[in-house]
Amino acid sequence: MINIFQPQLGKEELEAIKNVFDSNWIGKGKLTFEFEKKFADFLNTTYQNIRSTNCCTEGLFLSMQLFNIRPGDEIIMPTISFVGAGNAVCANNAKPVFCDVDKRTLNVRVQDIEKKITKKTKAIILIHYAGVPCDMDKIMDLAKTNKLYVIEDSACSISSTYKSKSCGTIGDMGMWSFDAMKILVCGDGSMLYLKDEELAQKAEELMYFGLDRKSGFSNSVDSKWWEFELSCYGHRSIMNDITAAIALEQLKKLPRFIDIRKRVHDIYSAQLKSLPWVDLPLEIPPDCTSSYYFYHIQVNQNIRDKLALFLKENGIYTTFRYYPLHLVKYYGVNEKLDNAEDAATSTLCIPIHHSLTDSDIDIIISKIKEFGKINHL
Ligand SMILES: *Cc1c(COP(=O)(O)O)cnc(C)c1O
pLDDT of residue 226: 85
pLDDT of residue 212: 81
pLDDT of residue 225: 81
pLDDT of residue 21: 97
Mean pLDDT of the residues in the chain: 96
Which amino acid residue places its CA nearest to atom 2 of ligand 1?
155
pLDDT of residue 97: 98
Strands 288-289 and 161-162: antiparallel
Report the separation in Å between the CA atom of 377 and the middle of ligand 1, taken as the mean of its atom positions: 36
- Architecture per CATH, domain 254-374, reads as Alpha-Beta Complex (3.90)
Ligand 1 atom with least separation from CA of 58 = 9
Q: Are 262 and 270 in contact, with CB atoms under 8 Å apart?
A: no
For 207, the enclosing helix (H) or strand (E) is none
Q: Are 94 and 74 in contact, with CB atoms under 8 Å apart?
A: yes
pLDDT of residue 215: 56
Which neighbouring-strand residues pair with 230? 211
How does pLDDT run across 35-85, given as a tens digit for each residue? 999 999 999 999 999 999 999 999 999 999 999 999 999 999 999 999 999
Burial 316-337 (b: 16+ CB within 10 A, else e): bebbbbbebbbeeeebebebeb
Which neighbouring-strand residues pair with 247? none
Q: With helix as H, strand as E and coil as C, how does 47-89 read?
A: HHHEEEECCHHHHHHHHHHHCCCCCCCEEEEECCCCHHHHHHH
Q: How far apart are CA 155 and CA 28, in angstroms?
A: 22
Using CB distances shorter than 6 Å, the residues near ligand 1 are 55-57, 82, 84, 127, 153, 155-156, 177, 179, 190
pLDDT of residue 220: 64
Which amino acid residue places its CA nearest to atom 5 of ligand 1?
56
The number of helices, as runs of H, and strands, as runs of E, in the chain is: 11, 12
Ligand 1 atom with least separation from CA of 153 = 11
Q: How far apart are CA 20 and CA 28, in angstroms?
A: 11
Backbone angles phi, psi at 311, to 5 degrees: -65, -40
Ligand 1 atom with least separation from CA of 293 = 15
Q: How far is CA 277 from CA 92, 273, 307, 373, in A?
A: 44, 9, 12, 11
Report the separation in Å between the CA atom of 62 and the middle of ligand 1, taken as the mean of its atom positions: 14
The number of beta carbons lying within 10 Å of the beta carbon of residue 175 is 28
Ligand 1 binding pocket mutation candidate from 60, 81, 82, 293 (most atoms within 8 A of CB): 82
Report the separation in Å between the CA atom of 80 and the middle of ligand 1, taken as the mean of its atom positions: 13
Q: Which residues of the chain have pLDDT under 70?
A: 213-221
Residue type, 212: D
The number of beta carbons lying within 10 Å of the beta carbon of residue 30 is 11
DSSP 358-370: HHHHHHHHHHHHH
Q: Are 302 and 374 in contact, with CB atoms under 8 Å apart?
A: no
Report the separation in Å between the CA atom of 101 and the middle of ligand 1, taken as the mean of its atom positions: 19
Closest CA to 55 of 83, 18, 96: 83
Decide: helix, strand or coil at residue 78: strand
Q: Are 96 and 77 in contact, with CB atoms under 8 Å apart?
A: yes
Instruction: Kindly state the DSSP code that residue 283 receives in the 8-state scheme.
Output: P
Ligand 1 atom with least separation from CA of 181 = 1
How does pLDDT run across 223-254, given as a tens digit for each residue? 888 888 999 999 999 999 999 999 999 999 99
Look at the chain and count its residues. Answer: 377
Ligand 1 binding pocket mutation candidate from 106, 177, 183, 191 (most atoms within 8 A of CB): 177
Domains of the chain by residue range: 11-250, 254-374
Structure pTM? Answer: 0.96
Contacts of 13 (CB under 8 A, 6+ apart): 245, 246, 249, 250
pLDDT of residue 217: 54
Which neighbouring-strand residues pair with 175? 153, 192
The number of beta carbons lying within 10 Å of the beta carbon of residue 93 is 12
Ligand 1 binding pocket mutation candidate from 57, 81, 207 (most atoms within 8 A of CB): 57
Residue type, 318: T
Ligand 1 binding pocket mutation candidate from 4, 54, 56, 293 (most atoms within 8 A of CB): 56
Which CATH number fits the domain 11-250, given the four candidates 3.40.50.970, 3.30.70.60, 3.40.640.10, 3.40.190.10? 3.40.640.10
355-362 long-range contacts, CB within 8 A, separation 24+: 355/6, 355/7, 355/8, 356/2, 356/6, 356/260, 356/264, 360/2, 361/264, 361/267, 361/268
Rg (CA), the chain: 22
My answer on whether omega of the bond before 322 falls inside 30° of 0, hence cis, is: yes
Strands 165-166 and 173-177: unpaired
